Amino acid sequence: MSMKIVVTGGSGAIGGRLCSRLLEVGHDVVSLGRNVSKVFGVQNITVKDYEPQTIISALENIPFDGLIHLAATATRSEKINSLEAAEVNGILPAKVVNAAYILGAKAVVIAGTNAEYADAGAAVTLTEEMLMDYSSLYGATKAAGGILALNQGVQNNIPVAVARIFNVYGPGDHSLKLLPSLIDGLSKGLEVKLSSGAQKRDFIYIDDACDGIISIIIALISGQAKTGYFNVCTGTATSIADFARKVAKIMGVDNALLKFGVVADRENEIKYSVGSIKKIQNNCLWKAEYNLEEGIKASLNELVKS
């Protein structure tokens, strides 16, 4: 069944890809944000901010079914202004939920992150019920935003989900991410300086991440899923070192260019961050389609095309 979905942050890497995936499966898409989405077929509405009255004024004559809120602070850097992060990541999501409710939306999905989870210890799979982190500004503000958004949903009696997205890679990654830095260095025959690489992560290809988010909004609207948290991940643990070696192998490059241990591991970095997929599988009937090799190859193919 075709629906109309509003996406905030539709001009970003994940947002643009999400808009494309929504269109591909037959939905109408409205991109609401400060910047214009470059995805063909999207209805663009530019706004100066995401305050409730701004959203309501922009969308009051555009009936829609669901809203996916991706807009957030652009970085996990601890150098970002703490008050700005608290406002954008912590308070804004609840305001967006309230605006969506006033406009008659049937459901809202808020983009969360695996950075919301506290360190559960080595090799412990993260479930949606586990403790949240307050030690990092990014994780704490995103966790607070999820709680307040879910509460606003309860107050308004509108289904709301927080999609905790794990380590996304693929086309659109900016230069500070692992995959583009590997591709850039290895393609030039340069040494790539890395940390120890022992950290294990749940890497998810960008199309899978987008499809997971779509499955949640559809499940909420249909009543198949209820308000709450949903991990968007693969459930598979891969060390950063193995990820880098896989990229080098697919590119046909000597592993000797990968210099592990040259960059110090971040202080207090979580060593194991892998999510459980049971809840999203059971409630949204979704699981990732790409394994790591397929995702890396797809990323490289798109890079060649561009």
CATH code where residue 119 lies: 3.40.50.720
Rounded Cα–Cα distance for residues 190 and 192 (Å): 6
pLDDT of residue 74 exceeding 70 = no
- Residue pLDDT, tens place only, 176-233: 589 999 999 999 999 999 999 999 999 999 999 999 999 999 999 999 999 999 999 9
Say which DSSP state 32 is in.
Answer: E
Q: How many domains does the chain have?
A: 1
pLDDT of residue 50 exceeding 90 = yes
pLDDT of residue 175 exceeding 90 = no
Helices (DSSP H) in the chain: which residue ranges? 13-24, 52-59, 82-85, 92-102, 137-156, 178-187, 206-222, 240-251, 278-284, 292-305
Residue 181 forms part of a structural domain:
no
pLDDT of residue 156 exceeding 80 = yes
Whole-number pLDDT of residue 148: 98
pLDDT of residue 296 exceeding 80 = yes
Token pair, residue 61, equals 């004559």
Residue 76 forms part of a structural domain:
yes
- Domain of residue 37 covers 4-171+203-234+274-289
pLDDT of residue 174 exceeding 70 = no
- Residue pLDDT, tens place only, 238-287: 999 999 999 999 999 999 999 999 999 988 889 999 999 999 999 999 99
Residue 263 forms part of a structural domain:
no
Q: Pick from 68-72, 80-84, 152-156, 167-171 the range whose average pLDDT is largest.
A: 152-156
Whole-number pLDDT of residue 80: 67
- Residue pLDDT, tens place only, 79-123: 567 888 899 999 999 999 999 999 999 999 999 999 999 998 889
Q: What mean pLDDT comes out for the span 24-29? A: 98
Residue 298 forms part of a structural domain:
no
Whole-number pLDDT of residue 172: 75
Residue 121 forms part of a structural domain:
yes
